[in-house]
Structure 1
């Protein structure tokens, strides 16, 4: 769904009507507040599976995004990416969260809506693959994503991989939540 301002201009960051409820849910689950070594390891798996220099597990709140899991390859080019905390209008994860479906951008500069994003100029991001991370109640909590500073073809295999990893992590989050309730 495409959202427009009342002036008819295309919004570069989508309106997120679920953000307040998501912020409450993230607090209930204890997610998105601090780095997590387990999620850092999962981000490394994402990077390895997609052969990407950067990957993350990102929880999107009302005003910011928090990468509780983050990985960058030791030989990755130096850039402003990755950062644990980003404003909500930076990057592409907020689009995935609002759309509730995966997003693959082989070259972000090919799309006017995405080319003007701050992560392009500030961090050199050129390619993105992300999928929604959904809890057991259907709430999209954030994303799993991979990023590159060069354009790249993710292909249908890359799309399937990022979606599969998001589903796997969603299962782990549910198991963690269930264990915490039982204990």
Structure 2
């Protein structure tokens, strides 16, 4: 009898079904969000990256088949190099099955992954291999109607003990931002 070691985690990640996606897309359209980069949201992401000491920070809106980073902060030198020395191309659009934000939106709860390799469900995610992401911290943007519009999140290329303070920071950041986003709709306010 021979022993076969467990196969890598590939294929274990299933992007959760998102029954709210059509309604979310309509809500984002009404708010004028999720279709183009916004300088104020980029500034928010830069602040969040500085606050958490993370190389990557995003304000992410989730559509039916994709994610859009309306706010994005990456290292000034460009994306962090992968172990092979190459630097991935970082854009504002990702398929829905990439990354961890779609899970946050469907779960409607913050997600803390100190080392994604510790979680077989997430270790096989394309952002782990393509972008070298090893840790993630994200919280949903839940508006006053109860809809999860997207996320605010940070990521790092090494394991990170985010701790309770990291969790509290990301949740408070999400709550503060959603108030500003809804203010746009009612008062025509400029973000930040």
- Say whether the 8 Å CA contact 2:31–2:182 is kept in structure 1: no
1:88 aligns with 2:96: yes
Looking at structure 2, the residues matched to 34 and 160 of structure 1 have their Cα atoms a distance apart, in angstroms, of: 28
1:138 aligns with 2:138: no
- How many angstroms does 1:11 deviate by? 5.4
- How many angstroms does 1:80 deviate by? 2.5
1:68 aligns with 2:70: yes
Q: Deviations over 1:2-39 (max 9, x none)?
A: xxxxxxx9652111111111111111111000000000
Q: Deviations over 1:86-127 (max 9, x none)?
A: 000000000000000100100001111100000001111100
Aligned pair count reads 173
| 4+ long deviations beyond 6 Å | none
Distance 1:81 1:133, change over 3 A: farther
- Say whether the 8 Å CA contact 1:33–1:68 is kept in structure 2: yes
- Range with bigger deviation, 79-88 or 35-44: 79-88
| DSSP-derived class of the 1:12 partner | coil
Looking at structure 2, the residues matched to 49 and 86 of structure 1 have their Cα atoms a distance apart, in angstroms, of: 25
Match of 1:117 in 2: 125
Instruction: Answer with 1 or 2: which has the greater Rg.
Output: 2
Among candidates 4, 19, 22, match of residue 20 of structure 1: 22
Among candidates 50, 55, 58, match of residue 57 of structure 2: 55
**Larger RCO, structure (CA 8 Å, separation 6 or more):** 2
Unaligned 5+ residue runs, structure 2?
1-10, 82-86
| DSSP-derived class of the 1:153 partner | coil
- Say whether the 8 Å CA contact 2:24–2:147 is kept in structure 1: yes
Match of 1:43 in 2: 45
TM-score by length of 2: 0.86
Looking at structure 2, the residues matched to 150 and 10 of structure 1 have their Cα atoms a distance apart, in angstroms, of: 22
- Say whether the 8 Å CA contact 1:70–1:82 is kept in structure 2: no
Unaligned 5+ residue runs, structure 1?
1-8
Q: Deviations over 1:36-56 (max 9, x none)?
A: 000000001110111100000
| DSSP-derived class of the 2:188 partner | helix
Match of 1:5 in 2: none
